[in-house]
A and B are shown apart, each in its own frame.
Chain A
């Protein structure tokens, strides 16, 4: 008995009724980007057909309506991650921009030569490259939390790594291994060492109940497109005291209080960090996505994905034994339903090509986590990731499709 009525949920996603070559779509790439429910599509269309107008700049009623809808989306995001205040939520282009904002605004204001930022071996490039850029610019030192053999963070040396650090930036869930990290514990360890805690929630937030206050985090970054919302918008939540003290990131319209020939002063939060015309329609879509997910319940979604994860682990190991290597933890309490795997020595590209013959969509590649791939000793993996609209039957289709790959590459 599954926690969700997946058949009805699937009906909410128009694309999932699409067939290619007369076969249904088996979309197992939601860790990459998720599909969109009718509610999100309709909200965005309604906005453009009925109430589209600029935000924050005009007195007419249409603009006031659009501004209300836009700020309504911000309130929905606040509720979704249990942030104390709506103005602590900054809309960005995506999680990548949110993490860059922290690195370059907070980082430039607070980090100098020799200062330490701690990252982990399982970070996405979005939480590595901005720090490398900052290191090149001002000589900060990066330290890395290593992994245990089963793909969890190895916290044995954490106090030593955090000693003297100013920031600890880590993912709440790995996009490659599916590992869910002990965020609350990591935040506490950071604070104990006098560092701030920056959480990359890009993979975690779409699949779990998120509570930044329970975590006692300082920043949280995530993207709309992975949680059933549109692409083109992401979120940075930050503690008000930190955001207030930070310089702006991008300059332009909307982020200023005053501009003179000799300088400018910045607007209040969150406008200070939202230079230029924001993604208006996308924000409305994100708000609708959050309402859609809340309607189903994040607790139920997580429980469903644990069941699917458990079924996938059992099925794939029972059917393929040593022929399949699934990276990451086997305990579904500490992992989501995202599986990177190696199969019978078949290159992931070839594997995904063969799976595509059955409309099974999986990602093949390094998943924007090359340091982690080096730790795994692979240049690429195949990755199947499940969401609320996937169920056990799709695990079986995946397994059957994997078998057919052996017909071509069985040597």
Chain B
């Protein structure tokens, strides 16, 4: 069995303990809520997108260490990026979680996961992949509201 050290890396616990970008944004920021129907976890994402750039993001809701730290790291990673860069990052993250595949064209684009690499161990615990991906699905939802 993979050890818990693979899952609960220090940086994950750090984001869980002190989540970044917690809070809300007033309209016209878009707002999406994601649920994990299996465990009742809930993530809210507020997104301020102007001129094709994510100017600000705030995250709310509650959940386990994996869903919360993933949301926190995600919020750091997308802030200031263009919508296209964010979409590429979502795709890269989901492929790290083994739920999307990278083709050659994707692979040639440079996308830095940074701290998010720490979540790689989640793949060894398939039940937890849903936790890690919840905030990213919610982000995608908020993004599509912002860029209809």
Contact = CB atoms under 8 A, between A and B. Distances in A.
Whether chains A and B associate is yes
B1 A20 contact: yes
A365 B39 contact: yes
18 contacts: A347-B65, A349-B64, A349-B65, A349-B66, A349-B131, A350-B8, A353-B128, A357-B1, A365-B39, A365-B40, A373-B40, A379-B40, A379-B41, A379-B63, A380-B41, A408-B4, A408-B8, A409-B13
B64 A347 contact: yes
Nearest to B17: A411
A157 interface: no
Interface string A346-370: 0111100110010000001110001
A380 B38 CA distance: 10
Interface string A375-411: 0000110000000000000000000000000001101
Contact of B1 (A21, A347, A365, A366): A21
Contact of B65 (A350, A373, A380): A350
A130 to B, nearest CB: 18
Interface in A97-128: none
Contacts of B125: 353
B1 A380 contact: no
A46 to B, nearest CB: 35
Nearest to A21: B1
B64 A365 contact: no
Contacts of A354: 4
The 4 A-B residue pairs with the shortest CB-CB distance in the complex, in nearest-first order = A349-B64, A366-B40, A347-B64, A379-B40
Contacts of B39: 348-349, 364-366, 379-380
A330 to B, nearest CB: 25
Contacts of A20: 1
Interface of B: 1, 4, 7-8, 13, 17, 38-42, 62-66, 125, 128, 131
A292 to B, nearest CB: 31
Nearest to B39: A365
Interface string A10-38: 00000000001100000000000000000
Q: Which of A20, A350, A364, A373: most chain B Cβ within 10 A?
A: A350
A353 B42 contact: no
A373 to B, nearest CB: 6
A408 B8 CA distance: 8
Contacts of A347: 63-65
Contacts of B42: 379
A380 B125 CA distance: 20
B122 to A, nearest CB: 11
Contacts of A409: 13, 65
B7 A353 contact: yes
B82 to A, nearest CB: 34
B74 to A, nearest CB: 18
Given A365-B39, A370-B40, A409-B65, 14 more contacts: A21-B1, A347-B64, A348-B39, A349-B65, A350-B65, A350-B66, A353-B7, A353-B128, A357-B1, A357-B4, A364-B39, A365-B40, A373-B40, A380-B40
Contacts of B131: 349
A348 to B, nearest CB: 7
- In this complex, which of B40, B41, B65, B125 has the most chain A Cβ atoms within 10 angstroms of its Cβ? B40
A41 to B, nearest CB: 27
A354 B4 CA distance: 7
A20 B2 CA distance: 12
Contacts of A379: 39-42, 62-63
Given A379-B41, A411-B17, A349 B128 contact: yes
Contacts of A370: 40
A38 to B, nearest CB: 28
Contacts of B40: 365-366, 370, 373, 379-380
B71 to A, nearest CB: 13
Contacts of A357: 1, 4
Contacts of B128: 349, 353
Given A366-B40, A380-B41, A353 B62 contact: no
Contact of A408 (B1, B13, B66): B13
Interface in A141-175: none
Contacts of B13: 408-409, 411
Contacts of A349: 39, 41, 63-66, 128, 131
A350 B17 CA distance: 13
A365 B1 CA distance: 23
A380 B131 CA distance: 13
Contacts of B66: 349-350
